[in-house]
Each structure stands twice: as structure tokens, then as C-alpha cells.
Structure 1
Amino acid sequence: MSPTRRCLSAAAALTAAVAALAATPSTASAAAFTPPPTHAGFDYQIGGAYTPPSGVTVVSRDRSAAPAAGLYNICYVNAFQVQPGEEKDWDSDLLLRDANGKVVIDEDWGEALLDLRTDAKRQRVAAKVNSWITGCKTKGYQAIEPDNYDSYTRSKSLLTASNAQAYIRLLSSHAHSQGLAIAQKNTSELAGSRTANGLDFAVAEECGQYKECGDYTAAFGNNVIVIEYTATGLSRACSGWGTKLSIVRRDVDVSPKGSSGYVRKTC
């Protein structure tokens, strides 16, 4: 290559680089954040906080709870649906409704779905949820677990995967601005888009039971936390991933220790 062409090539590369920077959303405002350690002792305490068992270094707790002192804490937020009894805390038009005006409900948990169909509504929902995320940061949490990413699969085809992803990008951007890592909760079919959606690790329920753990590790490497609810699921998860991932079995209600239904086992 001649010196002239080399100079022209370098100039073109510099121009392209400047253009690329201009076209890329600024991350200057994002604070430093760190995903949870991999293959760590983990406890899932979203149903009620209690003293973590020996060997646990990572805990997930509901946003209403205080983080566990000295551990890596993940703040659980019901980001796509409404906790039972809290419907009046939301503007009525932000509850997803069918053609007859009836609120669409996740029948398994009795939770109303949030309406994410337009940018304007996503912005309004995100404003509320992001205030919770800020609250998690204030309390001392290091990461966010936004639940029900897959609400679109229960929406009677009213919501789409694109709606869910456009919304979660609003949450991930805010979490990062607060210095918090943010998880993809379940929804293995969207794991391949984790980078575009700004998601740092995965929290996968029953990926052992349904033989889906590999779908998450293909996208997140070993940055995957697994919660199983059956002996079979735990056995499968431990057999395939016990030396790489953070794995725990809990009871379905995620009861606090000391409750009659409490179950906690590990590999």
C-alpha cells in the first residue's frame, strides 16, 4: 500500500470511528457495576428474608427487604406484572386489557399484566419500576432481578417479545446508571439478545427440570443462577452444571426458613 493510500485509509478509519461513537448511545453516565460471582453459594429468599445458610455468598431478596450484610445481594422486582392487591397503585390504563376491557391476569399467580404495547406506556411503567430500582441501590443491593420478562407469553397475544425487549432496555439502562447489574429472568428464547438488551447475567427457574440450562449458558456463559423446585430438576441441574453454575433447590413458595413448607437443597 502506498503512503498516500495508507494516510487516506487511516483518515477514513478515524472518520468511521468518530461516526460510530456519535451513533452509539453514551455510556459515560453509567456507574461501574459487577455481575454476581459464578458458581457461588446461592440462596433464593424472595418469599421472606432470613439468615443465609453457611457457604452462601449471593442472595436474592424482594425489594421490600434489606440486603444481607457482607454478601452479594440481588434485588427482586416484579417488573412486568402487578403484585396481587396492588392494582390500585397503577394508573388504570397501564393494566393490560383485552378487547372487552377485562384486565389480563397471570392465572398461576393472580397477577395483572402491565400494558407495554406503546412507547408512551413503556416509558410510564418504566418510570415507576425504575424508582424501585433506585430504591434497591439506596438500600445497598448490587443487582436487579426483574421478574416476568416472559409476560408476553401469557398476554393472549396482546404483547410481543419486541414489546418486552423495548421495555427491559429502559430498565437495564437505568440499572447500569445506578451501578447495578441486571438479570434476564427466565425467557430462554430471548437469551441470544442479551447484549442488545443490556442484560448481564441470567436467573433461570427450572432449567434443569426442562433441560434448558444450555440455552442460558450459550448466551451468558457461567453467569447463570439456577433455581429448581423438584428433586428431579435439582439432580439434572447438578449433573450437567454443578461445577459451573450457582444452583439451589427451593420450595415453590420460596418460604422463609422456619416455615412449614421450607425446602432448600444444593448440589
Structure 2
Amino acid sequence: MKRPLVLLAGLLLLVTACSATPDSPSGDSRWRPRPGVAWQWQLTGRVDTSVDVPVYDIDGFDQSKAVVSALHGKGRKVICYLSTGAWEDWRPDADRFPRSVIGRGNGWEGERWLDIRATDVLEPLMADRLDMCREKGFDAVEPDNMDGYRNRTGFALAAADQLRYNRLIARLAHERGMSVGLKNDLDQIPRLVDDFDFAVNEQCAQYDECGDMEPFVKAGKAVFHVEYELPVSRFCAESRRLKLSSMRKKYELGVWREAC
């Protein structure tokens, strides 16, 4: 009778180690997701809490504390999506942004780039948004539009401006006990990997850029990756080799997903 019990105990330990344990060891209580952990990214529609993955990324404004609590009740970690580099005209705090910091459109309806050099204006606004994420119980933040300096924003943004702003957002999240992800901004990964707890990437396979995510994986930090146009047969093998957390989504980022 002893051998089967030992084997069963070993199998249970193996399953526990390989399943929904997205945390990595750290000297503080901040969550740090590991490379390869599965996730769901849903920014539109009613959140489907039944997807069997350890991590959810949902809209910080649209979703309530009750939704976050429901996901926590299922053992999920929950990421708060915010746009920190662009103004969105439908957000409840949109009127608090002065016209002087609102630039050109970023290609999405109702969105315009922000002048990230104006940290005296933007820091208190972003601090309030991060307070909202914390008060709703989110574990982490996905700050979007973090690479304005590479785009036509209407402002003369430099790489140094982007580094300064991205580090500001990371610091504000950390001060509130939440982890924070670097969204895209591939060229600055080597200089920012130590400031962020994970990365979020769109379409690195389509543009042959997934190798740029290696610093995060080497540091033991997850890379949450999506493709929109490529079939999973075109990128999943490489994603598994690179230890990315990859899936295919539709552009509207609803419930549908096709994971590697």
C-alpha cells in the first residue's frame, strides 16, 4: 500500500507545481507572474468568469469590485487595464485632462495621445486611476499606450521622456502594492525590464519581434502575448519555445480566445 500512496503524493505535488500557481517567490507581497502562465484578456462585454486560467486582464473602469472579487473567488489573479498614455473621451475622468496635454488621435475612435512630458498634470490623474484599481482589489495593472515616443502624437516626445513616464507609472503601481506590466515598447525593454513585473505584447509573431521579449523571460517574468491575424499554427510552437503566454484573440477583445 505504501508505494501507490507515495506515487499519488508525488503526482499531486507535480500537478500543484504545474497548474494554477502564477506567483513567483519574492521578498514582498506583490504578485509576480511566471513565464508561461495562461491568461484571459477580455476588455469588452460582460466578463465570463468561467475561463479556466489563473490570470484575467479586464477593464479597470468598466468592471466592478464585485467582478474582481468573483474572479478572486475562483482563484484568479486580476489585472486592471488602463490607458495611461492616451486620453479616452468616454472615461468618467475625461474632463479632468486639460486640452494642452491632449494630442493627435492614436488610430482608435475617441482616443488621443497624451503629452507624457507633462508629469505635473498627469501624475495626480494617473495616481487616482491606480487608486481606483487598488480599491477594486486588482492585483496588477496593464498600462496601455506606453510607446508614444515612437508614434505621431502631436508632441516632440523623446525616448528619455518615455522612459521617465513609464518608470513613473511603474512606481505609482508599486506604491499601491500592485504589480505592473510593460505594454509593447519593445525598444526600451532592456532598460525597463527591472522596473516592471511582466510584459504585455501584441503581434510580436506577426512582426517577427518575439525574441525581443527574452529579457523578461530570462528574469523569470511572464510575457502575456496575443496575435490577432495569425492562426495559432503559425506562432504557438515558437511561443512555447520562448515560454510566452500566448493566445489568439479578436480585435474587440471579447470572450473568445484560442490559446496555445
TM-score (norm 2): 0.77
Q: Is the 8 A contact 1:35 1:181 kept in 2?
A: yes
Q: Counterpart of 2:238?
A: 240
Unaligned runs of 5+ in 1: 1-29, 97-103, 258-262
SS at match of 2:201: strand
2:87 to 71, 82, 94: 82
The size of the alignment, in residue pairs, is 220
1:79-228 map, 5 Å: 79-86=84-91, 87-96=94-103, 104-117=104-117, 121-154=118-151, 155-156=153-154, 158-195=156-193, 198-221=195-218, 223-228=222-227
Structure 2 match to 1:252: 251
Contact 1:145 1:184 in 2 (8 A): yes
Does residue 42 of structure 1 match 2:39?
yes
AA at the equivalent of 2:203: E
Rg comparison, structure with higher value: 1
CA contact 1:226–1:245 (8 Å) conserved in 2: yes
Check whether the contact 1:202–1:220 (CA below 8 A) recurs between aligned residues.
Answer: no
RMSD of aligned alpha carbons: 2.2
Deviation track 1:143-194 (CA, whole Å, cap 9, x = no partner) reads 1100001122222562122111111211111111111111100111111111
| Structure 2: unaligned runs, 5 residues or longer | 1-26
2:15 is matched with which residue? Answer: none
Aligned to 2:3: none
Identity of aligned residues (%): 27
* Residue in structure 2 matched with residue 9 of structure 1 by the alignment: none
Determine the structure 1 residue equivalent to 2:11: none
Q: Name the CA distance, whole Å, in 2 between partners of 1:236 and 1:125.
A: 40
Give the match's secondary structure for 1:60. Answer: strand
Counterpart of 1:14? none
CA distance in 1, matches of 2:102, 2:42: 27
Partner of 2:16: none
Q: Is the CA contact (8 Å cut-off) linking 1:43 and 1:58 kept in structure 2?
A: yes
